[in-house]
Amino acid sequence: MLDTAEKFEIAFERLGDEEQKFIEYFDCYELNQDACEAKKSKVNKVIGPPMNMDWINVRNFVKFLKIFYNVTLKFSGSSYITSNAFFRELATLHVSLTTMMNKGDYHMASMAIYMRDKFNKYWENIDNIWSLFVAILLDPRYKLKYVSFGLATIYESDPSFVKRMTEKIEDMLHLLYKQYAHSNLEHISKDKDSIQDYIFIQLDGEDDPNELLESQFAKHLEEEQCAESKSEVTRYLLDGCEKSSKDFDVLKWWKSSSSKYPILSKIAKDVLAILVSTIASESSFSTSGRVIDAFRSSLSPKMMEALICTQDWLRATPRIDLCVIMEDIEKFENFEEGK
């Protein structure tokens, strides 16, 4: 609303010059005492029409709120990847608040200081969400260097914490890689056993040394590839970062790089699909109250999911109207009977 209203400053000034009722709405001193008291009873704390300083404050306030509004919209998106963008927006928000704090405008600096305290209080326990940072590592534009840089920007007063968190996030990626690699090796070993059984059957029948050599070479290549894949995470992190652009598609990048990073590409496919926020942007700015009360928020995630889904099913309009279907069946039966 403020963003729309501030564009009509000249219109409000002209309204004050040409519309007498607009001035009378605010100016009680030109009315008699009875009318003034009556007006005060209807209008609570009427200060007056907006002055020049008021418009300046409105524009500053809009500029201040727009930062949080844009971040909330990006976090609440469901048609694009959000997991790899949350830390970038978090660091941008921190830098914006710091910049406003150092500006000469008193009102902007006061708001920035207040919100900075809220920001620090909310994100002081970042240890609880450090697993979310894996998505930043899987963005080839940022990787570990950006995580270290962003943490140093936010927690500049605690370099030991930055170092510890950076190592913890990297270890998490290595742990994920080991789990995915182990699962992948199980599939490879099953396929390899079936191939070897087929080769042995063929050799029992023909006893061809060339085929035996080929099978040994194929086994050697598999072992070599497995040995190289152990350093896949290290190779990825040491490779240079991709140039950032508006048209960059991280999913397409991983699809084209799946031959170079086969295991990491599978991790990226699963991790990048996670949404940062499960709340729509409309709910974020709504004042109608929480959807989940204190009691329901204490339930397990599976129980909450079951309750919400059941509620949606009960409230949904049935897609199939049995009465209409029965009428249609009756019409078809009458048509077949020639009635």
Token output for 169: 């996030």
Residue pair 253/245 in contact (Cβ under 8 Å)? The answer is no
- 46-50, 138-142, 260-264: which range is least confident on average? 46-50
- Count CA within 13 A, CB hemisphere, residue 194: 5
Reply yes or no on whether the pLDDT at 250 is more than 70. yes
Token output for 325: 């279907």
Token output for 311: 């509620």
User: The whole model's pTM is what?
Assistant: 0.60
Q: What is the mean pLDDT of the chain?
A: 75
Residue ranges per structural domain of the chain: 2-133, 163-271, 290-336
pLDDT digits 0-9 by tens, 173-200: 999 998 888 877 655 555 555 545 544 4
pLDDT digits 0-9 by tens, 51-103: 888 888 888 888 888 888 888 888 777 677 778 888 888 888 888 888 888 87
What 1-8 contacts at long range (C-beta under 8 Å, 24+ apart), as own/partner pairs, is: 2/58, 2/61, 2/62, 2/65, 3/62, 3/66, 5/58, 6/55, 6/58, 6/59, 6/62
User: What percent of the chain shows pLDDT beyond 90?
Assistant: 6
pLDDT at 186: 59
pLDDT at 328: 76
- Count CA within 13 A, CB hemisphere, residue 85: 21
What 227-231 contacts at long range (C-beta under 8 Å, 24+ apart), as own/partner pairs, is: 229/181, 229/262, 229/263, 230/181
Residue pair 108/97 in contact (Cβ under 8 Å)? The answer is no
Closest CA to 278 of 303, 300, 305, 296: 305
Reply yes or no on whether the pLDDT at 29 is more than 50. no
165 or 195, higher pLDDT:
165
